[in-house]
Amino acid sequence: DLHSFPTRRSSDLLRKALDLKQLQLMYQPKFDAQTGVMIGVEALIRWQHPERGMIPPSRFIPLAEESGAIQAITEWVLSTACKQAKNWHETSNSAVTVAVNLSAYSLKRNKAPVMVQEALSETGLPPHLLELELTESMLIENDQHAEETLNDLKKLGISIAIDDFGTGYSSLSYLHRFPIDALKIDRSFVWNMNRSDSDLAIVVAIIAMAHSLKLKVVAEGVETDAQLASLKRNGCEIIQGYLLGKPTTPENIASNLQKKKRR
Ligand code: G
Ligand code: MN
């Protein structure tokens, strides 16, 4: 098991995985709920291990955070995702945003603004095409410091979304204090919204609250037509989930963009 390795060893392992190009990014599309147009993608990291097969981020990101390898991994993710988005932007001439999930570590150590700045200048991606996804707990754990870091990030011209919204402590005061652009409704609410009145009520409330704070709403984990219909009816503007698109290769994203252009 990965967790049986001492910290030093797991740091070496993860750096080696990076050097050997065993880490990959897949991209899951996000769609405009009304038009069905793909408006962005979320970059999702995978470790393709030669013997162990696919190792999900939930297994190795905590190790990367403990061992310090997270720094190198985050730099790689930001630069790879920005390079890819720049390439789609040039070849398809359409404005597809790319979202990167930021770990608690990169936010805490105040490394994020410098890393993001470097990725943007190295790749030439227009900043408005980059979005960062953060979780509520990352912001609440250290709110004074987080506020400063988010302000520095916003100054670069990027967007900020709160991931898995509704499952953390939901201390709502940060929503208007921090420079946030969008909320992603956690998939657990989406999955139950057509089975449970209370989950539907939560989804409707999140959408109403987001709109009154002038935030956009993304629903994640949308798997059925019924979920899609309720989300549209309640004014959710962005849809992500297996119903409309699974995580896929950059080549597939590019060819979807080409198809859209020809239509
Ligand atoms: O919460 P976050 O956005 O970080 O999670 C992304 C993960 O969720 C990825 O592993 C992705 O494959 C998975 N995922 C994305 N859409 C769906 C979906 O519609 N259903 C399920 N079961 N998982 C999904
Ligand atoms: Mn996410």
Coil, helix or strand for 232?
helix
The number of the ligand nearest the C-alpha atom of 58 reads 1
136 lines ligand 1 (CB under 6 A): no
Q: Residue 111's pLDDT is what? A: 87
Q: Are 30 and 42 in contact (CB under 8 A)?
A: yes
Kindly state the average pLDDT of the residues 188-196: 95
Q: Are 97 and 85 in contact (CB under 8 A)?
A: yes
245 lines ligand 1 (CB under 6 A): no
Atom of ligand 1 nearest to the CA of 164: 1
| 6 pLDDT above the threshold of 90 | no
| 139 pLDDT above the threshold of 90 | no
In the predicted model, what is the mean pLDDT of the chain? 92
Output the residue whose Cα is nearest ligand 1's atom 24. Answer: 221
| 109 pLDDT above the threshold of 80 | no
- Expressed in angstroms and rounded, the spacing between residue 159 Cα and the centre of ligand 2 is 14
Coil, helix or strand for 52?
coil
Which one is predicted more confidently, 249 or 109?
A: 249
Q: Residue 263's pLDDT is what? A: 57
Q: In the structure encoding, which two tokens stand for residue 106, read together?
A: 């990169």
The number of the ligand nearest the C-alpha atom of 222 reads 1
- Expressed in angstroms and rounded, the spacing between residue 8 Cα and the centre of ligand 1 is 30
Output the residue whose Cα is nearest ligand 1's atom 23. Answer: 221
Mutate to test the pocket of ligand 1, among 242, 244, 249 (most ligand atoms within 8 A of CB): 242
The tally of CA atoms less than 13 A away on the side-chain side of residue 119 is: 31
pLDDT digits (tens, 9 = 90+) for 221-236: 999 999 999 999 999 9
The number of the ligand nearest the C-alpha atom of 99 reads 2
Alpha helix ranges (H) inside 68-219? 70-92, 104-108, 112-123, 136-140, 143-155, 173-177, 187-192, 197-212
What's the first-to-final CA gap in the chain, in angstroms? Answer: 49
Calculate the alpha carbon distances from 229 to 16, 204, 232 in Å.
Answer: 45, 13, 5
